[in-house]
Every structure is written in C-alpha cells, then in structure tokens.
Amino acid sequence: MTSDKPDNLSDPVVQEPSSRAAPLGPRGRRAVLDASALLALLFAEPGAETVADVIADGAVMSSVNLSEVATLLVRHGQDPSKTLLPVLEQVSVEAFTVDDALAAAALSPRTAPNGLSLADRACLALAKRLNAPAVTADRAWSQLDINVAVHLIRS
C-alpha cells in the first residue's frame, strides 16, 4: 500500500451498491480490487460508490490485499473479522499462487519507479491472471505500461 490512513479513522461504513452500476469489462469478467479501493468503501471516502458498484458487478481480491486491509484495521483498533464480514459475503478472495508470486516479482522493475508495493503488484498479478481490470485509488497505477487495465475510483 502506498499510503497510510490517518490516526483518526472513523468506524467503517459498508455501502450498498447503487442501482446504476456500470460494468468495467465484458460480462462475467470480474474486477480485481486493490486494498485502497476496499478501504475507500469501508471508510466512505471519495470513490466508495464506484467500489460498491464494482462489487455489485462481481469483484475479486487477492489474499495479500485482504491481509493489507485487515492489518490496517488492526492497527487502528478495529476487529477485521467483524468489519470485513459483509464485504467477504460479496467479494471472492483468491489465494496468492506461485504463478502470482512470480508475476508480481516480474512486475517489480516496471512498477518500482511508481512506488508500488508487493501488495500492489499482487493485485496487478491477479488482474493479469484473470484478464480483468484492477480497481484502485492509487493514481500512480494509471502511469503503468504493464498490459493490465487499471480503473481509478477517483477522477
């Protein structure tokens, strides 16, 4: 993750998907959520409605990114099991495979100048494996030339 949340986090608010959800790709093609996108939803930040719509259309997340979100919740005194339960009923979590690990490593030279972490590269590796767009709040991802579609939740 490229930025930490402020110390004064409020309790997470899980938003319901809006009725105007717009698909990000061909029917049946799930989007892959970055930790920053899920955090925007949980804390009702700008872009939360977009993330809710993506989840309504079908979203998946790497176990690495789920751990990143859970870690941040723990740091701020929240119970990740309780907070993430409604999300995990709607978002599939994919294990970080050997192929994902190797793909994330291969992305390192092309993403390091943009400050991407291992968790960021795990998200992109999963998106590449599933041939699905990666959904993030991190604008640096829009500068990448890595053959993965990136959807920013904020303009």
Q: Kindly report, residue by residue over 9-34, the tens digit of the pLDDT.
A: 444 444 343 333 334 444 455 899 99
Contact 93, 60 (CB under 8 A): yes
Give the residue with greater pLDDT, 26 vs 130.
130
pLDDT confidence of residue 29: 56
pLDDT confidence of residue 111: 94
Contact 92, 30 (CB under 8 A): yes
Q: CA 103, CA 134: separation in Å to the nearest integer? A: 15
The Cα-based distances of 17 to 20, 44, 96, 120 in angstroms read 8, 12, 27, 24
Q: CA 149, CA 28: separation in Å to the nearest integer? A: 16
- Beta strands 91-94; 134-136: pairing state: unpaired
Q: Kindly report, residue by residue over 69-125, the tens digit of the pLDDT.
A: 999 999 989 999 999 999 999 999 999 999 999 999 999 999 999 999 999 999 999
Matching residue, tokens 């998946």: 60
What is the pTM assigned to this prediction?
0.81
SS (H, E, C) 72-120: HHHHCCCCHHHHHHHHHCCEEEECCCHHHHHHHHHHHHHHHHHCCCHHH
Domains and CATH numbers, the chain: 31-152 (3.40.50.1010)
Per the document, the length of the chain is: 155
Residue 53 has pLDDT above 70, yes or no: yes
Give the residue with greater pLDDT, 101 vs 2.
101
pLDDT confidence of residue 84: 95
pLDDT confidence of residue 30: 87
Q: CA 65, CA 36: separation in Å to the nearest integer? A: 9
